[in-house]
Amino acid sequence: MKKILFLLCFFGLAGVSHAGFDEGVAAYEKGDSETALKELVPLAEQGDVLAQNSLAGVYANERGAARDYKQAEEWYRKAADQGYAIAQYNLGLMYANGWGVPRDDKQALGWYRKAAEQGLASAQYSLAWMYEYRRGTLRDDRQAVEWYRKAAQQGDVLAQYNLASRYEKGRGILQDSALAAQWYRKAAEQGYVWAQHRLGSMYERGEGVARNDSSALAWYLKAAEKGFSFAQYDAGLMYAEGRGAWVDYKQAAAWYQKAAEQGHGLAQYNLGTLYEQGRGLAQNDAQAAEWYQKAAQRGEAAASLNLGLMSMNGRGVAQDDRQAVQWFRQAAELGNALAQYNLGIMYANGRGVAQDDAQAVEWYRKAAQLGQAAAQNNLGLMLAKGRGAARNEAQAITWYRKAAEQGHAAAQNNLGVMYEEGRGISQDYAQALSWYRKAAEQGNVMAQHNLAEIYANGRDVPQDDQQAAEWYRKAAEQGDELARQSLMKITEKRTISR
């Protein structure tokens, strides 16, 4: 996480107090700046570094016209020049942010270093940050690690987190997931939500620690309860999938809702799916569509896909093919293969757009290249028929095979047809039979009919009326009239023969 604290320190050394100083600090803490200045100015003018630093803090932290960065810089510098580490750090902050002085990263780096070398943890952290993000110096990952470690060992929570991140990624140091987990734990135990979330993730993946979903969920919940949206989403996911706890869709919905309300796109999408499916919440298509829209606005392609399907079918929103096309296109352009496939269907059938086979082929091809089996089958069909592209049966077979090998029943049947008819490939009844059977056993009615024909006609297999009748019956039961008629002929034939 790229983060640095830009907070001016307004305090003195613990255990040190004297007349005027304590009164000045107490007055400022009560909101009485006038008394604070009255007590601190004389001490500061006498060279008291605590008073000088605190006086600078009053000027820097005042609001509106009362704020005076010029005075703050002057008094921080007086204390810093006397070697007071806190003032050196604060002066570095002013240069790093351009508060009252021109922004000057090299000056900031120099003052941070002076304070860091005196052991001030916040300065050590800031110096590491400067090395990490090339502020005032060349990027130096090893220097960053060294100073993060010094600050982390003093309990600086941000340094602990950043040091853990360095170990996790192997930046400036040898990658070591176990040490990453140890430093994340130190920061997490101080209540730092980013560290709690990362530690939960390491337990979930089993990196640096033994995989333990219960521990992962426990750390996610610690961060989630503090309002950390990423942890809220992950907690919801764990409950939805029954990891680290029993499946609990109500808990999943509750955490998704919290994250979704903070604008977490995936949480908005998942909350939409729970509404659509009626899991953990009353089924409500309109609510599902509302959350999908929020997620789609954040670039969640799956949400745009679902909105396209809802628009196409008039669920949760008005039926509108043109709107469906817009949603499919939005998801398709984000690389969602199902959306690309559906956009291809809309073009092929002229729904919501002018019918355009070439566009259909283009979108089927995009989805097919991403491994979408239905698109691979449809692309094969278009190429086999010469629709939207030059007829190419060899290419059609290539795409049918890709889909068939993924178990797509229609593609298995289509590949069987190509083998049976010798289109784009040598005729091979054994291969046809094999692919028909795969599809038929999945309930594909065309494959059941074709398989029955193979047995009825004895094509490269012994003629077998019993097998033919079995597959005709299955096809007929799905409404295949030709199969019903063929079954009747076989039944009559077998009756006569008896």
Residues 6+ positions from 252 with CB-CB distance below 8 Å: 236, 237, 239, 240, 270, 274, 279, 280
Question: Is residue 283 predicted with pLDDT exceeding 60?
Answer: yes
Q: Is residue 372 part of a domain?
A: yes
Percent of the chain at pLDDT > 90 equals 83
Does residue 8 surpass a pLDDT of 60?
Answer: no
The pLDDT of residue 497 is above 80: no
Shared domain for 364 and 412, answered yes or no, is: no
Single-letter code of the amino acid located at 236: G
Among residues 257, 251, 229, the alpha carbon closest in space to that of 239 is found at 251
- The distance of Cα 488 from the centroid of its chain, to the nearest Å, equals 57
* Per-residue model confidence (pLDDT) at position 494: 63
Residues 224 and 246 in one domain: yes
Asked if the structure places residue 124 within a domain, the reply is no
Residue 497 lies inside a defined structural domain of this protein: yes
Residue 447 and residue 350 share a domain:
no
Domain closes at, from 384, 401, 418: 401
| Whether 456 and 481 share a structural domain | yes
Instruction: Specify whether the CB–CB gap between 127 and 156 falls below 8 A.
Output: no
Instruction: Give the model confidence (pLDDT) of 146-165 as tens digits.
Output: 999 999 999 999 999 999 99
End-of-domain residue from the set 401, 428, 443: 401
Determine, yes or no, domain membership for 179.
no
456 with 491, same domain: the answer is: yes
Residue 20 has pLDDT above 90, yes or no: no
Domain that holds residue 382: 319-401
**Per-residue pLDDT, 23:** 86
C-alpha to C-alpha distances, 176 to 141, 160, 170, nearest whole angstrom: 16, 14, 7
Task: State whether 431 and 474 are in the same domain.
Answer: yes
Q: Look up residue 453 and give its DSSP letter.
A: H
pLDDT classification of 460: cutoffs 50, 70, 90: confident
Based on the fold, state whether residues 201 and 231 are members of the same structural domain.
yes
Indicate whether 388 and 454 sit together in one domain.
Answer: no
- 21 in Cβ contact with 52 (< 8 Å): no
**CA–CA gap between residue 170 and residue 159 (Å, rounded):** 16
pLDDT band at 7 (very low <50, low <70, confident <90, very high): very low
| Residue 107 clears pLDDT 50, i.e. is over it | yes
| Residue in 279, 321, 241, 496 with CA at minimum distance from that of residue 233 | 241
Question: b/e for 13-43, b at 16 or more Cβ within 10 A?
Answer: eeeeeeebbebbbebbeeeebeebbebbbeb
The whole-number average pLDDT for the span 102-124 is: 96
User: Closest Cα partner for 252 from 242, 262, 264, 266?
Assistant: 242
Does 293 lie in the same domain as 210?
yes
Q: What is the 3-state secondary structure (H, E, C) of the chain?
A: CCCCCCCCCCCCCCCCCCCCHHHHHHHHHCCCHHHHHHHHHHHHHCCCHHHHHHHHHHHHHCCHHHCCHHHHHHHHHHHHHCCCHHHHHHHHHHHHHCCCCCCCHHHHHHHHHHHHCCCCHHHHHHHHHHHHCCCCCCCCHHHHHHHHHHHHHCCCHHHHHHHHHHHHHCCCCCCCHHHHHHHHHHHHHCCCHHHHHHHHHHHHHCCCCCCCHHHHHHHHHHHHCCCCHHHHHHHHHHHHHCCCCCCCHHHHHHHHHHHHHCCCHHHHHHHHHHHHHCCCCCCCHHHHHHHHHHHHHCCCHHHHHHHHHHHHHCCCCCCCHHHHHHHHHHHHHCCCHHHHHHHHHHHHHCCCCCCCHHHHHHHHHHHHHCCCHHHHHHHHHHHHHCCCCCCCHHHHHHHHHHHHCCCCHHHHHHHHHHHHHCCCCCCCHHHHHHHHHHHHCCCCHHHHHHHHHHHHHCCCCCCCHHHHHHHHHHHHCCCCHHHHHHHHHHHHHHHHHC
Whole-number average pLDDT of the chain: 93
Q: What is the mean pLDDT of residues 109-124?
A: 97
What are the residues whose beta carbons fall under 8 Å from the beta carbon of 237, sequence distance 6 or more? 243, 252, 270
In a domain, 496, yes or no: yes
pLDDT over 70 at 13, yes or no: no
Same domain, residue pair 196 and 278 = yes
| Residue 331 shares a structural domain with residue 293 | no
Query: How many other β-carbons are positioned within 10 Å of the β-carbon of residue 482?
Result: 12
Whether the pLDDT of residue 172 is over 90: the answer is: yes
Residues 449, 487: Cα–Cα separation, whole Å: 10
Residue at 433 is within a domain: yes
In a domain, 146, yes or no: no
Does residue 19 sit within a domain?
no
Q: Tell me, what DSSP letter sits at residue 208?
A: S
Q: Which of 370, 401, 432 is the last residue of a domain?
A: 401
- Per the structure, the count of domains in the chain is 3
CATH of the domain at 365: 1.25.40.10
Distance CA 229, CA 441 (A): 46
The pTM for the full model equals: 0.87
Output the pLDDT for position 18. Answer: 65
| Residues 411 and 378 grouped into a single domain | no
pLDDT value of position 31: 83
pLDDT at 498 exceeding the cut of 90: no
- Other beta carbons less than 10 A from residue 496's beta carbon: 7
